[in-house]
Structure formats: C-alpha cells, structure tokens
C-alpha cells in the first residue's frame, strides 16, 4: 500500500475503494482457479489456490490497519463513516469468499485421489452461477450501483434452490452406489462452500445498499427452502 503517496482525505477514501476492488479481484480469481482445478482434476492448480489464500489474508490485514488509522485520524462522520465501515465489512466478506475457494481447492486435492464421479458437473454448474453473482456484486461495488446490488441480493434464493437440488442428487447417487460415498460427501461440502460464497455476495449487496442509500435493504432476506442456512 503506497500510503506515502496518499495525501488528502478524499484520496484516502478513493484508495480504500481501490484496495477493496483489488481484494475482490483476488477473491474472484481464487474462486475461478478453484473451479478450474476441480473441472480439470488439476492438483497443481488446486495447491496454488490453497497457497494463494495467504495473500488475500494479508490484504485484509492491510485494509483493517488502514481503516483503523482513518477512523483514528479523520474522525469521519455520516457518509464517510459509512464508507469506512462498509470497507471493513466487505473486506471481511471477501476474505471468507477466498477462504471458501481455498476449501474447494483442498477438497479437490482429495477428490483427485478418488475415481471420478458424475455429480461433479452439477457442482460446476452451481459454481458458474455463483461466479456470475460474485462478478456482478464486485461490479456493483465499483459503480456504486444499488439496482445491480438488489438484483444480486434477489438471486440468493436461486442459489439456495440449486444447492438443495444438488444435495438431493448427491444423496440419491450415494444410495445407488455406496462406493461413491467418500467422493460425494466431499462434493457436498464443496457445494456448501460455493453456496456460502453466494451468501457472502448477498451480504456485500446489503452492505453496498447501506453504503449508498444509508439505510438497510428493506424486506426479509431472500431465503430458499434449504434447511441449512449455515
């Protein structure tokens, strides 16, 4: 972080948006690489994703120190305070997105030692939808686009429903062929991790609404009929 080149308060706030965007890009790339490693059964790539998580964690630490310094030195109020609090929250959401991506990669390493099973493709399909949602919310953050954030927020139910369908598919698959139980339970956790990435995108949508509009997103949070909100 080039703190010495950052002079004015406005520049500091703009800098904050930039590092959040950068962290978003990193989380997005980690998730994309994790999905690719799963698709190609590529253990090298999966191992790189696992190792790469440390960089995202470092960036979160940097953002935390920077925001604490801003809070202490600038005593922000109103929309500036919202900006800083939002940055703190979004950086912790993105850290968790990257964490889940790393978990998907860790399980890919295990899966690659087992015979391939068919339901992998359903997990990939879920991942594609969640990748779209993550991309949209990062775009919305950069553009401060509340309408786009609300559209992301409304897609949470779609992801939950897809996850529930996938959960049932995996159960059926395991019952039909108990030899696939180990692989399918790993896929189940991977699907859960991916569904959780979608939840974090929804959280970012809520924070973005609060940041731009100054009030919480109205209405009950969209929830599918999945029993596990985890």
Non-local CB neighbours of 132 within 8 Å, separated by 6+ positions: none
Residues 187/111, Cβ–Cβ less than 8 Å: yes
Q: Which residue in 185, 214, 221, 223 binds a second copy (CB under 8 A)? A: 185
Half-sphere exposure of 199 (CA within 13 A, CB side): 17
Cα distance between residue 84 and residue 97, in whole Å: 20
Among the listed residues 14, 51, 171, 213, the single contact to a second copy using CB under 8 A? 171
The only residue of 35, 63, 106, 187 in contact with a second copy, by rule CB under 8 A: 106
Residue 103 within binding range of a second copy, rule CB under 8 A: yes
Among the candidate windows 20-28, 100-108, 123-131, 158-166, which touches a second copy by CB under 8 A?
100-108
Among 115, 105, 87, 126, smallest CA distance to 29 is for 105
Interacting residue with a second copy among 107, 155, 200, 209 (CB under 8 A): 107
44 binds a second copy (CB under 8 A): no
Our CA dihedral for 183, 189, 195, 198, rounded to 10 degrees, sits at: -110
Between vectors from CA 123 to CA 186 and to CA 227, what angle results, nearest 5°? Answer: 75
Q: Which CB atom, from 143 or from 161, has the smaller least distance to a second copy?
A: 161
Q: Binding segment for a second copy among 38-46, 148-156, 170-178, 200-208 (CB under 8 A)? A: 170-178
Answer yes or no whether residue 174 interacts with a second copy by CB under 8 A. Answer: yes
Number of helical (H) and strand (E) elements in the chain, helices listed first: 7, 0
- Tell me if 77 contacts a second copy by CB under 8 A: yes
Tell me which residues touch a second copy (CB under 8 A). Answer: 68, 71-72, 75-77, 81, 85, 92, 99-100, 102-103, 106-107, 109-110, 167, 170-171, 174-175, 178-179, 181-182, 185, 188-189, 192-193, 227-230
């Amino acid at each position: 972080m080039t703190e010495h080149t950052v002079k004015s308060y406005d520049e500091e706030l703009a800098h904050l948006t930039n590092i959040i965007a950068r962290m978003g890009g990193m989380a997005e790339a980690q998730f994309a690489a994790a999905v690719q490693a799963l698709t190609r059964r590529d253990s090298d790539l999966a191992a790189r994703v696992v190792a790469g998580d440390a960089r995202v964690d470092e960036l979160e630490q940097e953002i935390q120190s920077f925001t604490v310094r801003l809070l202490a030195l600038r005593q922000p109020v109103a929309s500036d305070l919202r900006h800083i609090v939002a940055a703190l929250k979004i950086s912790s959401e993105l850290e968790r997105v990257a964490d889940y991506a790393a978990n998907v990669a860790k399980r890919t390493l295990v899966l690659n030692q087992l015979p391939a099973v068919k339901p992998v493709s359903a997990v990939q399909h879920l991942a594609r939808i969640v990748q779209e949602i993550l991309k949209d919310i990062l775009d919305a953050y950069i553009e401060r686009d509340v309408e786009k954030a609300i559209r992301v927020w409304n897609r949470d139910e779609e992801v939950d429903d897809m996850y529930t369908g996938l959960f049932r598919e995996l159960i059926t698959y395991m019952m039909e062929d108990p030899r696939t139980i180990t692989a399918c339970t790993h896929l189940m956790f991977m699907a859960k991790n991916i569904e959780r990435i979608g939840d974090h995108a929804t959280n970012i949508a809520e924070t973005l609404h609060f940041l731009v509009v100054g009030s919480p997103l109205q209405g009950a949070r969209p929830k599918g009929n999945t029993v596990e909100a985890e």
